[in-house]
Amino acid sequence: MEAASLCTMATCVLNQWSMDFAGNKRRILSSIIEAKRLGASYRLGPELEISGYGCSDHFYEGDTFLHSWQVLRDLLIDPATRDIVCDVGMPVRHLGVAYNCRVVFLNGQVLLIRPKTRMADDGNYRESRWFSRWTKRGEIDKTFQLPDLIESAIGQSTAPFGDAVLAFRDASLGFETCEEIWTIGSSHIDLFLNGVDIVVNSSGSYHQLRKLNRRVDLISSCTNKAGGLYLYSNLRGCDGERVYYDGSALVAMNGRLVAQSRQFALEEVEVTSATVDLEEIRNYRQANRSHCQQSAEAPALTRIAVPQWRLCRQDVAAACQSTNLPMEPRYHTPEEEIALGPACWLWDYLRRSGQSGYFLPLSGGIDSTATSCLVYSMSVQVFESVQSGCQEVLQDLRRIVRDPQFLPGSPQDICSRLFTTCYMGSENSSSETRQRAEQLAKEIGASHLALRIDAAVSALVAIFVACTGLQPKFRAHGGSAQENLALQNVQARVRMVLAYLFAQLVLLARGLTGNLLVLGSANLDEGLRGYMTKYDCSSADVNPIGGISKSDLRSFIRYSMRRHGISILGEIFSAPPTAELEPLAANGQLAQTDEVDMGMTYDELSAYGRLRKLDKCGPVAMFLRLRRLWPQHSAKVVADKVKHFFRSYSINRHKVTVLTPSYHAEAYNIDDNRFDHRQFLYNVNWPWQFQQIDQLVDQMAGCEPVLTTDKMELGHPESSNRAGGTGAGNSGSTYTTTGTVDKIQTNDTTGSKKSVLSSSVGYQGCVRLLAQIGRQRATWRGGIASTPIPPVESAAAKILASGNLAAARRRPQQQQQQLQGRIGKRTSPLAVKANNDSGRCRHRNQSNRAASKVQQLGNVEQAPIVARLTLSPRGCRVVQQQQQHQEPDEPTGHRRFPAPRMRLAIP
C-alpha cells in the first residue's frame, strides 16, 4: 500500500430548513470545517442543501434562485472552504429551465454544475413539478454564464454545466443525485465501467419504516458488481413538511459498508469520514475479467481535468494511516424507528414553531397513549443529547421553556415543562380509562388535567332542542341510529374546542407565557376507514401517529414497556379499543368497541390499505387478491368485506381532505395533500365494480370448495401460492386447508382438480372424501401406528353425493365405532409425536411397540390434528403430523379440543 493511494472522503448529514438560507449556510460551513478537521480532501453535502429540499412551489419564485446564488457566493469566498473540494446542492436556472443541481468548487472556483438526470415523482416526491431533468447524458455546456454576483466575487464568468466526470490528478469522481441510484439505468453503471474510482450521491430521502435496508442494499450491491467507492449523503430532520429525513450517510467500497452515520439524532450537523485505499478498487476490478471486458467496450464519458488537486494524501504520515474496515450495517427495529423518527420530527417542529410545548387530550386508550409515549421518547432524546454535551439542543430547550438557567435532571423534568395532557371525561367514560390516563401522565412526568365535558355537551344539545323541539336520544335509550351518531359526534367536537382553549391559556393560568401545540392521535387505519368525527380531536396542529398503522402502534407500545419501564402500558395494551361515546352498560362495563363499530378488524384494515395503495387494487382486484389471501373465508364473505370497506372508505373520504398534518411513516399513507391523490366525492354504491364482484362470486359458487352440514360443493378452485401450503409430492397435489368440525375450506396451491371433505375428522372425514371422489379404500395412519379402514359403503357414497350429510352421517356410524374399538385395543389412547419413515405398521406387535413411544392424549375422534390426506391410485390415507396437548377441563374421557387444521394432497 502506497501513501499516494490513500484518500479520506467526508459525507455529511445536515438538518436543513426550507427557505432558511441563513441557517442553512451556517450548517454547511460548520460541516465543511468539520470535514477539514477530519483530514478529508472532499466534502459531500445533501440534495438542495442551500435552499432546503422541501421548498415546493417556492421553486417557482426567482427569489429562491437568487438567494441560493447569494449563499454560494458567501461560501466561495469564505476562508473555511479553502483546500477542500466542496460539493453543495442548490437550484439553478439554465437557458430558462430550472434544474436540481450540484455545484462543485475548489479554492473559490466552480469546477462543475451537475444537474440531476432522473426526477423523483413517486410517493411524496413531485420534482418534475418544479425541475426538468438533464437529458444529455455525458454532455456539458461549457458556456454557462455565472451570475454577476458570482463573477464579481471570484472573477469567474463561465462554468461547465452538465453531466461529466471530474478527473483529479490521482483519481476520478462521478456523480449521482438521489433518485438516480434507484432507477434501472443508474448513472453509476456507466461511471464504474469508465474507470471512475469514486461515485458520490447527494440525496434527500425521507424516512419510511424499513426503508434504510433498501438503501444499504442498493449502495452495497452497485459497488459489489463493479468495484469502486460510493459516498451517500442525506438530509436529516423536519424541514417544514410532513416527512422526516433520516440521515444515515453511508460509505461503501467493493460491496462492503465501511462507514455509516446515525439514522436518528437531534444534532444538526454530523460528518462521517472514511479513509480508503483506492488501489484496492483497482485490484478488485482487475480480478473481474468480465468487468474488464465490458469496461474496454464502454463508450467514453466527458471528463473535466483538475490537474491542480489530488484527492489522495502525499505526506509520509499518510502511509501509517489506518483505513476503514468493513462493517455490518446498523438497523433499527420497526418499533425503534417509530420511537425515534416521530420523536425527532416532533422536536424539530416544536423548536422551529416558536411554541412552548404540546397539549394532548389523553383518553387512556392506545392511540393517545402512543402519542404520549412519542412525546416522552422526544424528551428522552433531548435529555440524552444534553447529557452528551450538545449545546445547541440545550439552548433550544431553554428557549422553548423560556428559562435560560433550566438544566433537566431527567426526561420527566423535560416532559413536565413541554407536555400537558388532559382527560376529558363524560358520563359515558369509564373509571378505568380515567385512572389509566392519570397514571400514564404521572409515570412520564406530564402536567395532567382532568375535567368533564357533560355540561358543555348538554348546553349544545339544549340549544338544538329549544330550536327544533326534538330531543335526541342514544340508541340504548330508544333513539335512532342517526340520533345516536349525532350525540356521539357532539361529544367529540366539544373535546376539540376545549383542547384549543386550554392550549392557548393553560400556561397563562400557571403564570407562564406562550402557547401549546395541540396534538392529534388518530392512527392511519382509522383515517383510511374514516372512523373518526370530522373536526374532533383528530383535528389538531400535528399528528405524530397519523401515518402509523394500529398493528405497528401496538408493537411500539410493547417496545415502550420494555425500553422505558412504563408499567401502566401493559394494562392499556390489554384494554379493548373504544371511543366511549355511547352510554355504559347497566353493570358499568363498555357497550362500545372500535372494531365492532367499524365492522372490521384493524388487521383487515391494514390489509385493505396496503392493497389499495401499494398494490393499486380497486374493488374487483382487491376481492380477487383477498380471496386467495383469506382461504378461511368463502367468496361471499370476502365480497361482503370488500364491499363494506369500499363503502365506508368512499363515504368518509371527505374527512381525509382536512386531516391534521401527520408524520409520514408508512408506504400506504392516506395523506390527501401530497401522497394519496384521489377524489373525495364517490358513488358509494360502486355499482359497476360491485356488480363485477357479484358475478365473480356466482362463478365461484359452482367451483368453490366450501362445504357445510347441509350442502356439498365440488369443483376446480383458483390456483394460489400462499405460505403454508406444500408442493406436490410423489403421491399427488397438495392443498392447504383450515376448517372446523362443520366446515372445511381449502386452497389449491397447484391448480389441480380437487374434491373436498366436510364436517368432522378421522374416519368420517375420510369416508366423505372418498365418497366424493369414488375411491373405495383408505388407511388411517397416525405417525407410527396405522390401522386399515374398511371400504366405504356405496349407499353412503350415494347419499353424500346428493348433499345430504345428515343422512350420510348415520350410515358409517357402526363401522366407525368398530374402527375406534380396534384402534383403542391396539394403541389406545392414540396420540403420536414420533415419526416413522415407513409410515405403516402392518402387524399387531409393531403397533404395540409403537404405542409405547407415544404420549397419551385422547381417542382419535377427539384429538386435535394437523393431517395430510393423500389420494393415490391405491386409495386415500390420512397422515397425522402433529397433535397438540390440552389439559382437560372435565373428567378424563370428556376432553375438549380446538378445531382441526388439515392439509389435503390429491393427485
**What is the rounded CA–CA span in Å between residue 421 and residue 302?**
61
- Known catalytic residue at 703: no
Is 47 assigned a catalytic role?
Answer: yes
Is 265 in a helix, a strand, or coil?
Answer: coil
In whole angstroms, how far apart are CA 544 and each of 345, 593, 668?
8, 23, 16
In this structure, are strands 744-748 and 447-452 parallel, antiparallel, or unpaired? unpaired
Query: What CATH number should be reported for the domain whose range is 6-331?
Result: 3.60.110.10
Number of Cβ within 10 Å of residue 755's Cβ equals: 22
Q: Which residue in this structure is represented by grid cell 436556472? A: 93
State the alpha helices, DSSP H only, in 85-180.
Answer: 148-154
Q: Which of 196, 188, 46 is closest to 117 using CA atoms?
A: 188
Q: How many C-beta neighbours within 10 Å does residue 21 have?
A: 18
Question: Which residue has 365473480 as its cell numbers?
Answer: 696
Average pLDDT by stretches of 10, the chain with 907 residues: 77 96 97 97 97 95 96 97 97 97 97 96 91 94 96 97 96 95 90 93 93 93 92 95 94 96 96 95 89 87 94 71 91 95 97 96 94 97 96 96 96 97 93 94 97 96 96 92 93 95 96 95 87 88 92 94 94 87 72 80 88 90 94 93 92 88 83 74 87 89 48 30 32 32 35 34 41 37 33 42 45 44 37 36 40 35 33 36 35 35 36
Q: Are 639 and 694 in contact (CB under 8 A)?
A: yes
Whether the Cβ atoms of residue 611 and residue 625 lie closer than 8 Å to each other: yes
Res 600: pLDDT: 87
Q: Which amino acid is at 319?
A: A
DSSP secondary structure code for residue 114 in this structure: E
**Hey, what's the cell of 183?**
432507477
732 close to 870: Cβ distance less than 8 angstroms: yes
Identify the pLDDT of residue 655.
Answer: 87
* Distance, CA of 113 to CA of 116 (rounded, Å): 10
For the domain spanning 339-584, the CATH number is 3.40.50.620
CA-to-CA dists, residue 85 to 35, 41, 105, 107, 560, angstroms:
10, 6, 6, 8, 44
The owner of cell 368420517 is: 764
How high is the pLDDT of residue 704? Answer: 55
Query: Which among 307, 306, 314, 259 is positioned nearest to 104, based on CA atoms?
Result: 306
Q: List phi, psi (to 5°) of 850.
A: -65, -35
Q: Determine which helix (DSSP H) or strand (DSSP E) holds 112, and give its type and residue range.
A: strand 109-115
Helix axes 763-773, 794-801, angle to 10 degrees: 80
Q: For position 31, what pLDDT does the model report? A: 98
| Look-up of cell digits 430547550 | 397
d(CA 511, CA 208): 41
d(CA 768, CA 189): 62
C-alpha distances in angstroms, 894 versus 393, 613, 890? 67, 50, 6
Q: Is 12 helix (H, G, I), strand (E, B) or coil?
A: strand
Radius of gyration of the chain from Cα atoms?
34
Query: CA–CA distance from 743 to each of 701, 713, 765, 863 (Å)?
Result: 15, 12, 11, 17
Helices (H), 743-793: 763-773
Sign of CA dihedral 87, 93, 95, 98: positive
CA–CA gap between residue 496 and residue 519 (Å, rounded)? 10
Handedness of CA 407, 411, 412, 417 (dihedral sign): positive
| pLDDT attached to residue 713 | 31
Q: Is the dihedral of CA 660, 661, 662, 664 positive or negative?
A: positive
Asked whether the beta carbons of 590 and 610 are under 8 A apart, the reply is no
Catalytic residue among 7, 55, 101, 178, which? Answer: 178
- Overall size of the chain counted in residues: 907
Largest CA distance in the chain: 106
Q: Are 204 and 48 in contact (CB under 8 A)?
A: yes
User: Which value, to the nearest 10 degrees, does the dihedral of the CA atoms of residues 107, 109, 115, 116 take?
Assistant: 0
Instruction: Give the separation between CA 452 and CA 40, rounded to whole angstroms.
Output: 62
Give the single-character DSSP code of 158: E
In angstroms, how far is CA 860 from the centroid of its own chain? 45
Residue among 453, 92, 44 at smallest CA distance from 251: 44
C-alpha 867/C-alpha 882 separation (Å) is: 7
Catalytic residue, from 34, 47, 268, 270: name it: 47
Question: What sign does the dihedral 31-33-37-41 (CA atoms) show?
Answer: positive
Predicted local confidence at residue 123, as pLDDT: 85
Q: Kindly report the backbone phi and psi dihedral angles of residue 219, in degrees, each rounded to the nearest multiple of 5, phi listed first.
A: -70, -40
**Given this chain, do its domains 6-331 and 339-584 carry the same CATH topology?**
no
Q: For residue 122, give every residue at least 6 positions away whose Cβ sits within 8 Å of its Cβ, in sequence order, or none.
A: none
Measuring CA to CA, how many Å separate 557 from each of 372, 420, 594, 701? 11, 20, 18, 43
**In angstroms, rounded to a whole number, what is the distance separating the alpha carbons of residues 275 and 41?**
10
Distant-in-sequence, close-in-space partners of 707: CB < 8 Å, separation ≥ 6:
713, 743, 744, 756, 757, 758, 759
C-alpha cell at 175: 456523480
Which contiguous run of DSSP H or E holds residue 489? helix 481-509
Measured CA to CA, the distance from residue 65 to residue 70 in angstroms comes to 9
Q: How many CB atoms lie within 10 A of CB 779?
A: 18
By DSSP bridging, strand 303-306 and strand 165-168 are parallel
Question: How many CB atoms sit inside 10 A of residue 83's CB?
Answer: 11
Sorted by where each begins, the domain ranges of the chain are 6-331, 339-584, 595-700
DSSP code string of 217-279: HHHHHHHHHH--EEEEEEEEE-SSSS--EE---EEEETTEEEEE--SS-S-SEEEEEEEEEHH
DSSP 8-state class, residue 585: P
3-state SS, residue 747: strand
Note whether 76 and 263 are within 8 A (CB): no
What is the SS3 assignment for 140? strand
Active-site choice (205, 363, 377, 416): 363
Crossing angle between the packed helical segments 366-387 and 431-444, to the nearest 10 degrees: 10
Q: What pairing do the DSSP bridges indicate for beta strands 785-789 and 865-872? A: unpaired
Task: Report the alpha-carbon distance of residue 779 to residue 154 in Å, rounded.
Answer: 92
Residue 92 phi/psi, 5-degree rounding, is -140, 140
Distance between start and end Cα atoms, the chain: 65
